[in-house]
A and B are shown apart, each in its own frame.
Chain A
Amino acid sequence: MKSGSNLEKVILSGNPAVTAELGPPMSADPHEVIKKANILKGFCDAANITDCQTAVVRISSIAAAALAYREGLEPVMQMTCRDRNRIAIQADLLGAAALGLKNCLCLAGDHQKFSAAGRLKGHPGAKNVYDVDTCQLVGILKKMRDEGLQEGGDPLEAAPKFFVGASWTPMGDPIDFRPVNLLKKVNAGADFIQTQGIYDIELFRSQMEKIRNMGLHERTAILGGIIVPKSAMMLKYMDSSVAGVSVPKALIDRMNKAKAAAGDDKKKMRELQEAEGLKLTVELIHQILETPGVKGVHIQAIEWETAIEGIVKAAGLYPRPTFTE
């Protein structure tokens, strides 16, 4: 065992792993994190704690992960390369390990320009760091854990033992290069992979076939990503604007049909679309888990953590495995 994390244990046990996501608030109040942690606890093996996603300032991933951990929810601390250089990254990794955190997902991070989207002012004038990139960050975590060395070569008295993850966008373009992209992350030392949201199962399966031919599914645990859809509008937006996400027309049509069934009733329109979104999610979970080489699912119910319990139960993934020790 590399880290002894619950997520690692589930993956080693051969059960399909389930991860969820917890977005920290723009607030110094811990209660939101505590509340969400208790909503998710028991329905996933670990939950990603986002690291200022869309470059918006929120409770830091490490602090929120520590809060979630205290509540009994195993966190996957996210670590982006956007805001910290290798000195800050490694210092934070030591701190995170000292607080008991055992999973870390390495990410490039959304560009700071994202922060000014919608109603937020954000910090589009911020200076970004990118001292290291995702592949290199994965390598740093592996070197710290397995060799007990900092990136610069100095020894660590106690090495941080992280289960090291990275993201992968299987359907991003250039699509024929995406398997190489994964190969590099695996070669760098990624123990697990969480993918960008998958709606186009056929395309995902053709990418997974390439991954199996490269033998990568045996060297890392691939968890297929699902972004729980709430409305036809959200699906259309993701199809047109979210990098690496394509949504088949049939899924958008299904959601439109659910919407149309509500007539002019706005409340019903929302309810029917959400219900269809949950149904669709469960179907996607099954299709992803039936894809050879996949070891689990990463379910992102963005600002809709309460949906996870129902989804996991409906998908037949409850109760989650537990381990004594």
Chain B
Amino acid sequence: MIVGSQKSIDEIWNMVKDFKKVLVFGCNTCVAISHAGGGKEAETIATLLRMRASQEGKSMEVDHTDVMRHCEPEYFEPVMDELKKYDLILSTACGVGVNFLSQRIGKIPVYPGVNTSFYGAVEAPGQFVELCAGCGNCILHLTGGICPVARCSKTLMNGPCGGTNKGKCEIGPEVDCAWYLIVERMKELGTLDKLAEIQPVRNWSTSRDGGPRRVSLEHIRAYEEGEARKSETAGGNK
């Protein structure tokens, strides 16, 4: 899932203070799990903003609402008319949600209430850990299921470097060395000999380095376009 963390209320206040009618818009999927931007958090932020507005003597209407997901139009279409009554949407979805809604809401600005942190998992209640970098070219079968792109501070393909210290990364004693973990895991799997192979220079174009990415499923696109043509023809016959 996408892990987010809430921006400080001071930062949010500085973004929103000059607007009159603000909607805090929560997303109940990923960022709700990381307690950053779900319906509950949207409600809390709205309350804090109302308090702040009254402290600062600003007349501002602040409401909140939430939907299940901000990354698919059908989830926010039903509330679109409601959203358009505001002069600012403070989205507490991840950056995907902010972008996606911005493109669809016309002249109303959409601001971020959350910092989108990473793709991660819930290690323990209230503790989230980055495990994937979305690089577009997965090699986890070669590294014992431990990702060096996301989890090695230097994204080394042929680690470890000389910075491993008692199983920890040179950047700090709280950071596990991914390559230490990889070696130990490969030992456990009985596949350590695989690590002797040199991983060649990588093609990073599948990652962000290749520019903005898109995945297109041809069979689904073809089906959808076929359906659209059918309904056009049906409309023409009317």
| B204 on the A face (CB < 8 A) | yes
User: Among the listed A114, A140, A177, which residue makes an inter-chain contact with B183, where contact means beta carbons less than 8 Å apart?
Assistant: A177
Given A151-B201, A184-B196, A187-B198, answer yes or no on A135-B162 (Cβ-Cβ < 8 Å).
no
B178 to chain A, nearest CB (A): 12
Please report the C-alpha to C-alpha distance between residue A243 and residue B161 in the assembled complex, in whole angstroms.
Answer: 10
Bitwise, B55-72 to A at CB < 8 A (1) or not (0) is: 000000000000000000
Given A111-B171, A243-B164, check contact A128 B154 (CB 8 Å): yes
- A105 to chain B minimum Cβ distance, whole angstroms, is 12
Q: B153 at interface (Cβ–Cβ under 8 A)?
A: yes
Question: A150-170 CB contact bits vs B (8 Å, 1 = yes)?
Answer: 010000000000000001110
Question: Once bound together, how far apart are the Cα atoms of A272 and B125, in whole Å?
Answer: 55
Instruction: Write out the residue numbers on chain B whose beta carbons fall within 8 Å of the beta carbon of A110.
Output: 163, 170
**Given A113-B171, A151-B201, A184-B198, are A135 and B158 also a contact pair (CB < 8 Å)?**
yes
Chain B contact residue count (CB 8 A cutoff): 31
A114 to B161, CA, bound (A): 15
- B177-226 with Cβ < 8 A to chain A: 180, 183-184, 192, 195-196, 198-202, 204
Q: How many A residues, CB 8 Å from partner?
A: 38
Question: Is the CB of A302 closer than 8 A to any CB of chain B?
Answer: no
Question: For A196, what are the chain B residues with a Cβ–Cβ distance below 8 Å?
Answer: 162
Contacts of B184 in A (CB 8 A): 174
Looking at the assembled complex, report how far the CB atom of B188 sits from the nearest CB atom of chain A, in whole angstroms.
12
Q: Which residue of A lies closest to B200 (CB)?
A: A136
Q: Pick the residue among B154, B162, B166, B192 that contacts A130 (CB under 8 A).
A: B154
Chain A's nearest CB lies how many Å from the CB of B162?
Answer: 4
Tell me the bound Cα distance from A168 to B164 in angstroms. Answer: 12
A134 contacts B by Cβ under 8 Å: yes
In this complex, which of A111, A140, A243 has the most chain B Cβ atoms within 10 angstroms of its Cβ?
A243
- Ranked nearest first, the 3 interchain pairs of A and B with the lowest CB-CB distance are A169-B162, A135-B158, A243-B165
